[in-house]
Amino acid sequence: MTARVGPAIVVRDLTRRFGTFVAVDRVSFEVEQGEIFGYLGANGAGKSTTIRMLIGLLAPTSGQATVAGHDVATAPGRVKESIGYMSQKFSLYLDLPVEENLLFFGAAYGLEGTALRARAAELLERVGLDAQHEATTGDLPGGQRQRLALACALLHRPGLVFLDEPTAGVDPVARRAFWDLIRELARGGTTVFVTTHYLDEAEYCRRIGLMVDGKLVALDTPAGLKRTWVPDRVLVARGRGLAEAGPRLGGAPGVRAVAPFGAGLHLRVDPERFDAARVAAALREAGAEAVEVEEAAPTLEDVFLAVVDRDAGGAP
């Protein structure tokens, strides 16, 4: 393959208002060639609105965006030729057979004849739907629909795909299968811009952007985010009498957070003052028995909560 130049996406101060409501607020970021870029945020954070501006479905109120080397404002046609898009709401023709959807969208991208048929067959096999090619699309279960939608987005071999919540409402096994496809795609050199609600999925991303109320509040690798946003030591305690002992420990200096976690406790502590052994001792002192404490890696959920906490008033 030829060497690619420049980032896949460059966004500068991208803003979109709906009336007085600011759905996306001066967002800036870059997405590198070949990476899986995760875009995270709660409902209404502005994820879909950002994507819609990047693919030319929605005009930005202000700001610039360059996608696959083309300015979204001046060359929307070039952008469309270079990208694939899977919308949040399933939007293929439910009344057509699986294969007809592929043939239609392939022709819309300018493919034709045997090349188109071969490409459709290849993708059906790749997403594991070759046995269903004659099925009516509307009869497919959720996971298969999403894989078909992905196949439709890949027909013209785009170097960059936008997947807007591709696994929403899909069962865990199907989610796992879908992410296998995404990672395979990225290994093949395709840049993937993906939004999700599921924090476990976000771990698969090389970098993550966190959206809160239209603003991009954090952007880093998963490990980097954890270092920055969860500097505390995260510990998990198990034993008897923790329900009573935990809250007693809650006010102690150096203990930042105590929360029930299954039958045990989840603690965030100042690493300068506490480690697993000291926390175990403190819990025993507070009345718990048979205490075992282990250090746990912070999750993206911890990051997300810390970010939202900060946004709600406190500082990190």
Partner 1 sequence: MSAESEKFWSTARRQLAAVFRKEVRQTIRDKRVMVLLIVAPLVQTVIFGFAVDFDVDRVPTVLVDQDRSDQSRLHARRLLADQTLRFAGQVGGIPEAEQDLDDGKAAAALIFTPGLASDLASQRPAEVQVLLDGSDPNRAMVASGAVSRYFGEVGERLIRERLEAAGRPAPAQVVLVPRVLYNPRLKSAPYIVPGIAGTLLVIVTTLVTAMGLAREREMGTMEQVMVTPIRPLWLLIGKLLPFLVIGIFDVLLLVAVGSWLFEVPLRGSLLVGAVGVLLYLFSTLGVGLLISTLSQNQQQAFLGGFIFMMPAILLSGVMTPIRGMPGWLQAITWLNPVRHFAEVMRGVLLRGAGFTDLWFQLACLAALGVGVMALAVARFRTQLG
Given 8, 27, 31, 47, the residue binding ligand ATP (CB under 6 A): 47
Interface with partner 1, residue 204, by CB under 8 A: no
Q: Applying CB under 6 A, does 264 fall inside the site for ligand ATP?
A: no
Is 114 a binding residue for partner 1 by CB under 8 A? The answer is no
Counting contacts by CB under 6 A, is residue 88 touching ligand ATP? yes
C-beta closer to ligand ATP: residue 6 or 44: 44
Range 182-195 burial, b when 16+ CB lie within 10 A, else e: beebbeeebbbbbb
23 forms part of the interface with ligand ATP (CB under 6 A): yes
Told to check if 114 binds ligand ATP by CB under 6 A, we report no
How many residues sit close enough to partner 1 to count as binding (CB under 8 A)?
A: 28
282 binds ligand ATP (CB under 6 A): no
Closest of 235, 213, 214, 219 to residue 303, by C-alpha: 219
End-to-end CA distance of the chain: 44
Q: Is 57 in the site for partner 1 (CB under 8 A)?
A: yes
Helix (H, G, I), strand (E, B) or coil at 81: helix
Applying CB under 8 A, among 6, 18, 108, 183 the residue interacting with partner 1 is 108
**Shortest reach from residue 37's CB to ligand ATP, in Å:** 15
Alpha helices in the chain (DSSP H): 47-54, 76-82, 98-108, 113-126, 142-154, 172-187, 199-202, 222-229, 242-250, 276-285, 300-311
Indicate which single residue of 14, 48, 63, 154 sits in contact with ligand ATP (rule: CB under 6 A).
48
Q: Residue 43 interacts with ligand ATP (CB under 6 A)?
A: yes
Cα 122 to Cα 64: distance, rounded to the nearest angstrom: 36
Considering the rule CB under 8 A, would residue 93 count as an interface residue with partner 1? yes
User: Which of 38, 46, 63, 166: binder of ligand ATP (CB under 6 A)?
Assistant: 46
Q: How far apart are CA 42 and CA 211, in angstroms?
A: 8
- Residue among 286, 274, 271 nearest 239 (CA): 286
Tokens of 174: 């199907």
Q: Is 62 helix (H, G, I), strand (E, B) or coil?
A: strand
Q: Which residues bind Mg ion (CB under 5 A)?
A: 47-48, 88
Closer residue to ligand ATP, CB minimum distance, 49 or 146: 49
Name the residues that contact ligand ATP, by CB under 6 A.
Answer: 18, 23, 41, 43-49, 88
